[in-house]
Amino acid sequence: MLRTAIAGIASVLAISAATLAQDSVQPGEQSSEQSAAPAPALEEMRHRALSLVNDARKQHGLEPLQSGERLDKAAQAHAEDMLARGYYSHVSPDGETVEDRYRDQGGSRWKRVAENIATCKECKMPATLDRVARFHEGWMKSPGHRENILMRGVQNFGFGVAGKDGRVYAVQTFAGPGMPLDLADGEEPVALSTDEQMQRAVQAINRAREREGLDPLEHSAVLSEVAKKLIPENGTGDHLIDRPDDLFALLPGDTGLSWRRLQVMAAACGGCGTQPTAADIRYFADQWTNNPNDRPYVLQSAASHMGFAMQADGEGRKTAVTVLGERRAD
C-alpha cells in the first residue's frame, strides 16, 4: 500500500494519493517454517532497504536518498502499531496518518511525505534480509509503490519492520521538499527571477480578467514592495503574512496618497519544491481566481495595479502574496 501527502494551509489544498490496498507477498512465498538463522539487526535491515531503493533510483538517473532518523522512527512506530493492533492500513484506528507520524517525530509539516507498507502471513521468522528484498521486489512491481520509490523531490528515507507469530509488517517512508504542484508533463522546474515572477503573475491574473471583459492590471513596483514586506522573514510559522492594521503604512513615503484602496491575497504550499517556478505562479493564480473568497478581488473592476512577491524557503514551503490597488485619478 502507498500514501503520499503534501502539507498546505489557507487556500492551498492538502493532497493525498489514493491508498492502494495491495499485499506485497508473491504467490508461493508463504511458509510457516521457522528460521534457525539469527535475526539481522534492525540497522542492518534498514541499510539493506535503503541500498535497494537507491539501486533502483540510480537505474533511473535519480539522486540517491539519505537515511532519515525521523523517518526511521515514524516507519518503525507504524510497523509495530500495525502488528500490535492487528490492522493493515496507512491510517491507524485512531486516524493517524503518515504525515502525523512524521510530525510526531519532529518532521516539518511543509515537507512532501510518502509511505509504502507491506505485510506477509505465515512468513519465516524472524524477518530476514531476504524478506526485506522480497518486500522491495513486490513494491517495485506495483505502479503506485514504484512511483514513491522513484519519486522526484524526496531526499530522505526511513524503514521499519516488525513481526511475530509468522506475521511481518514493513514500512518505507520518504520525505523531501517535493516538486511544484502544477508542473506539466515534461516540464522542468526552472527557477524564475523576481522580474520573471512578477511578469508571469500579472499575465496570469490578467488572463482571468480578460475572460470577464475587464481591463488588465498594470504592474506596480511599489505594491510589489508591500507584498514582499507582508511575507514573514523566517517563514516557518503557520501564519502566511505579517499584516498590519493599516496596509497603507507599508507604502513608502507619501505614496499612500496615490491609492484609494488596497487588497491582499496570500497563499502557501508545502512539499512543492525549492525554487520559484512558472508552475508555482500558475498554481497560485489558479487558487486565487477559483477561490470564492479571492475571486471577487481578482475581478474587481476598479482595481488598476498589482504587486507580487513570492518566497521559497528551500525546504518545501512557498508563500505568495498579491497586492491589488485602486489608484486615485491624477
So what's the pLDDT on residue 124? Answer: 82
| Residue 271 confidence (pLDDT) above 50 | yes
Q: What is the pLDDT of residue 238?
A: 67
With beta carbons less than 8 A apart as the criterion, state whether 161 and 126 touch.
Answer: no
The yes-or-no verdict on residue 7 having pLDDT over 70 is no
Query: Which residues does residue 5 pair with via DSSP β-bridges, in sequence order?
Result: 16, 113
Q: 107 is written with which cell numbers?
A: 518532521
pLDDT of 135-193, one tens digit each?
Answer: 999 999 999 999 999 999 999 999 999 999 999 999 999 999 999 999 999 999 999 99
Average pLDDT over residues 273-281: 97
Residues 6+ apart with CB under 8 A from 120: 23, 24, 25, 29, 30, 131, 134, 135, 167, 168
pTM equals 0.84
Lay out the sheet containing 167-176: strands in order across: 15-16, 2-6, 112-120, 167-176, 156-164, 66-67
Question: If you write DSSP's letter for every residue of 133-168 in order, what string do you get?
Answer: HHHHHHHHHSHHHHHHHT-TT--EEEEEEEEETTEE
200-218: average pLDDT: 97
pLDDT at 10: 29
| Chain mean pLDDT for the chain | 87
The CA distance from 319 to 82, in Å, is 37
Per the CB < 8 A criterion, the answer to whether 326 and 296 are in contact is no
Residues 6+ apart with CB under 8 A from 75: 115, 158, 159, 160, 171, 172, 173
Query: Is 113 exposed, middle or buried (CB count within 10 Å of its CB: 0-12, 13-18, 19+)?
Result: buried
Residue 9: strand pairing partners: 268
Whether residue 3 is predicted with pLDDT greater than 70 in this model: the reply is no
pLDDT digits over 183-201, tens only? 999 999 999 999 999 999 9
Please tell me the predicted confidence (pLDDT) of residue 119: 96
Per-residue pLDDT tens over the stretch 25-40: 332 233 333 333 356 7
- For residue 14, pLDDT beyond 50: no
User: Exposure of 14 by Cβ count < 10 A (0-12 exposed, 13-18 middle, 19+ buried)?
Assistant: middle
More confident call, 9 vs 79 = 79
